Structure 1
């Protein structure tokens, strides 16, 4: 069962859901960009400057969060996202390496 913020535990992460989330080019770009940052880097959703409306940006980050790709925390009037590297590496070994190699 996901936590109160909608983050699934590593055991609840589904490869199909993760791959579906990554199938969208904008969401894939967010994950790729987070991979290029030092581990633990927090970025606000707005800092990615996606070429979509604010509500669509919110939707994309919800999909990433619910798939287990990012962890989001409230930071005042915005939310910050962090890539769940350790969880993803333990649940799906090599997945992030494949994404990093494509970037």
Structure 2
């Protein structure tokens, strides 16, 4: 991936450009239950959520890792708004590159959660 590192003192986070997003990276990001939970919560909200709005049953450093994997794969976009790091799904980018993928994964995850009684 050829993403630029943030400028010194900058709070911009590196993201892949639309054309750099790779299917295998997206599938890898979505394969982890914690990251899939993040994506499901962002999809349910339909807008942006701060990292603190999404509570995962893991340590803060592990949560940070999961958000980074999602961002670097192109699944989410993270931006700072004041002191909050806001997260939003890159629905348009993913939909254009991989039509139906995100909706299929979200539907499958919802069905699994119902089947397993976990959501």
Do they superpose with TM above 0.5? yes
Q: Which runs of 5+ in 2 are unaligned?
A: 7-12, 111-119
Give the Cα separation in 1 of the matches to 2:97 and 2:70.
Answer: 16
> When the two structures are superposed, what TM-score results if normalisation uses the length of structure 1?
0.90
Cα shift at 1:75: 2.7
SS in 2 for 1:72: strand
2:48 paired with 1:47: no
Structure 2 counterpart of 1:9: 17
5+ long unaligned stretches in structure 1: none
Deviations 1:7-50 (A, max 9, x none): 10111001111111111100011111211222xx1111121110
**1:93 and 2:94 equivalent?**
no
Residue in 2 that maps onto 1:56: 62
Give distance in 1, aligned partners of 2:3 and 2:99.
21
The aligned residue for residue 72 of structure 1 is: 78
Matched pairs, number: 101
Asked which structure has the greater RCO (Cα within 8 Å, sep 6+), the reply is 1
Q: CA RMSD in A?
A: 1.3
Larger radius of gyration: 2
Q: TM-score, normalised by structure 2?
A: 0.78
User: Which residue number corresponds to residue 81 of structure 1?
Assistant: 87
